[in-house]
Structure formats: C-alpha cells, structure tokens
C-alpha cells in the first residue's frame, strides 16, 4: 500500500497540473489573449469584446468539453478494465464508443431536426454495446482474449455501419470526418449541457462504487462468498461505464485511447486499488485530453487537427507496448 502522504501528493499534483493545463489552454491559440485578460475576466473587470468572445465563446466550451470527455472516458476505461478483469479493455476497444457513434449517426440521419436526440442516442448505443459485451463475457464464460476479439469485431461492424450511413447520406452529420476520429473543434456550450450532467453524475457514482471493483478483482466465487451480487454488480458497473463513454462520444466523437492509456498510467503511479485508480483516472484523463487538444490546436496552426488524431499518435505506440509487455509476462 502506498503511504497516505504519497496518495495525497499524487492527487494534489494532478489537481495542480489540471489547473496549469487549463490556464495554458485558455492562453495559447491563434488569437492573442493573455493571462492578464483571464484575470480581468475572473475578477469581473472590463474586457475587450474580442478577448471576451474568444475566452467565453470559443475557448471555454472547448476546454470544458476536453475536461469532461477525458474524465468520462478514462473513468469508464478504469471501470471496464476492472469489471472485465482485462487490462486491454477500454470503451473504444470493446466497441462501446463505436456503438454510441453508430446510434448518433443513425439518429442524425433519420431524425435530422431533433438535436436533443444525439446524447440520448449515444447513451443508448453505448448501453446496447455494453450489454452485448456483458452477454459475451458472462454468458459464454469467455476468456479475456475472446472478449477483446469480440469487441474488435463489434467495432468493425459498427464502423462499417457508420461509414455506410455517411456514404448514403453524406450530410447526416456536420463534420463527420472529425466525429469519426474524435474532435472538439466545433463544440458549443449548448452541446455539453446535458452530457455534462450525465458525466458528473456518472463520475460521482463511479467513485462511490469503486470499492466494489476491488472485491470483484478477487474472482467471481470469492466476491459471491463475500456477499456481493456479482452479475448484478458487473452489469451495473458496465452500464455506468457506458453512460460515461456515451455522454462523451455524443459531443466529442469517437475519442480513442484516453480510456485505455490513462488508467494504466495511474496504476503505474499508485497501484491497483480501484478506490484510487477510478478518481485519479478521471483527473488524469481530463488533463490528458485537454493537453492533447491544446497541442492539436497549436502545433499545426493555422490548421487544426482533431484531438483524436493526436491521441492516436500517442496512444497507438503505447498500446503496442502494453501488448508486448503482457505477452512477455505470459
């Protein structure tokens, strides 16, 4: 067990990093806005109209979206990895993200007028996929590898579905190419109101329930003998992860690797106690996605690449490293 001091320090440094990255994200960008402008805004002073508009209408929604999506996906990843007892699982690997994405595109294509339908559809798609994975992993008593392989197959099927929709109806979703890799370039404050409510509620529930994940790590039979309803708990935790991931996908698109990498990084830092891993992953995910998104805005200015691409460049190699590492252990 890590000492209380170490845990405290880790959390504190994550919080400080979160604040620093947020400030950087507010300040850097193609339009020049300085720290002085932020301070003026916070302290309620008079601000140039252009600076105000950039900070509040352009950067604030985007920063909030990055923080929420990162926290949601990383917490969902931590939960899914624990529930399926599988270090290679995450919302995008097992198909939850693409399930949400498919439903979003379906909704946008069938009911183009109903803008509120997006988050609901994302949630429903994520949930359906989670149930599918649950059925595969529990119903067939499948091995860890089978679940990942089934997830990859589901991802491929849903990906094909999304591409079919976009070929038949290219106008179904504005900025669909960004949606498919995950991007925050067009997020508006109104897009994240409802999802943020889901995400905050989901994060609170996830932190409260995280102790149960430790009991699950002992194996089904032991968890049962300790008085846990194992199948019910597993299903509820998967539903919670699906809610978090679905809400994130509804405005950020199919953001990939945050859900996979961040929980692993946190376990390197703080061990396997899920009571710490889940909240810390949420913090770390928020930092990671915001950092990647800021890079995505700045590195190729005046062009901008979707954050999903930046994350894939970082996440892909890391995933390969993970596979190599778990192979060597086995």
**In the complex, least distance from residue 148 CB atom to other proteins, rounded to whole angstroms:** 17
Lay out the site mask for other proteins across 13-32 (x = CB under 8 A, - = otherwise): --------------------
Report which secondary-structure segment, H or E, holds 136.
none
Among 272, 299, 313, 326, binds other proteins (CB under 8 A): 272
Contacts of 190 (CB under 8 A, 6+ apart): none
Among 271, 305, 314, 318, binds other proteins (CB under 8 A): 271
- In terms of Cα–Cα distance, which of 31, 65, 83 is closest to 228? 83
**In the complex, least distance from residue 233 CB atom to other proteins, rounded to whole angstroms:** 11
Tell me how many residues contact other proteins (CB under 8 A).
21
Of 86 and 129, CB closest to other proteins: 86
DSSP state, residue 139? I
Of 13 and 222, CB closest to other proteins: 222
- Indicate the burial class of 330 (C-beta count within 10 angstroms; 0-12, 13-18, 19 or more): exposed
Rg over alpha carbons for the chain, rounded to the nearest Å, is: 20
Of 40 and 214, CB closest to other proteins: 214
**In the complex, least distance from residue 280 CB atom to other proteins, rounded to whole angstroms:** 15
Lay out the site mask for other proteins across 195-234 (x = CB under 8 A, - = otherwise): -------------xxxx--xx-xxx-xx-xxxxxx-----
Q: Are 148 and 92 in contact (CB under 8 A)?
A: no
- In terms of Cα–Cα distance, which of 286, 265, 258 is closest to 68? 286
Rounded-to-integer distance, Cα 44 and Cα 319, Å: 45
- Footprint on this chain of other proteins (rule: CB under 8 A): 1, 208-211, 214-215, 217-219, 221-222, 224-229, 271-273
């Amino acid at each position: 067990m890590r000492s209380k001091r170490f845990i405290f320090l880790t959390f504190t440094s994550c919080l400080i990093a979160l604040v620093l990255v947020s400030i950087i994200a507010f300040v850097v960008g193609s339009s020049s806005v300085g720290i002085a402008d932020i301070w003026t805004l916070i302290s309620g002073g008079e601000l140039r109209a252009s600076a105000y508009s950039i900070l509040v209408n352009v950067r604030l929604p985007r920063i909030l979206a990055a923080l929420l999506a990162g926290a949601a996906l990383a917490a969902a990843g931590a939960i899914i990895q624990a529930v399926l007892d599988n270090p290679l699982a995450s919302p995008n690997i097992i198909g939850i993200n693409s399930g949400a994405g498919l439903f979003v595109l379906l909704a946008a294509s069938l009911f183009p007028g109903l803008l509120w339908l997006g988050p609901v559809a994302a949630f429903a798609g994520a949930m359906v996929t989670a149930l599918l994975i649950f059925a595969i992993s529990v119903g067939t008593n499948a091995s860890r590898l089978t679940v990942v392989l089934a997830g990859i197959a589901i991802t491929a099927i849903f990906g094909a579905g999304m591409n079919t929709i976009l070929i038949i109806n290219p106008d179904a979703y504005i900025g669909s190419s960004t949606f498919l890799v995950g991007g925050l370039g067009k997020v508006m404050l109104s897009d994240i109101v409802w999802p943020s409510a889901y995400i905050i509620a989901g994060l609170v529930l996830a932190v409260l329930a995280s102790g149960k994940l430790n009991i699950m790590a002992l194996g089904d039979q032991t968890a049962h003998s300790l008085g846990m309803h194992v199948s019910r708990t597993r299903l509820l935790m998967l539903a919670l992860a699906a809610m978090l991931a679905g809400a994130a996908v509804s405005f950020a698109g199919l953001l990939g690797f945050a859900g996979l990498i961040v929980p692993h990084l946190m376990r390197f830092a703080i061990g396997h106690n899920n009571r710490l891993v889940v909240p810390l992953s949420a913090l770390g995910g928020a930092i990671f996605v915001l950092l990647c998104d800021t890079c995505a805005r700045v590195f190729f200015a005046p062009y901008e690449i979707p954050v999903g691409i930046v994350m894939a460049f970082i996440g892909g190699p890391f995933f390969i490293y993970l596979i190599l590492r778990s192979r060597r252990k086995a």
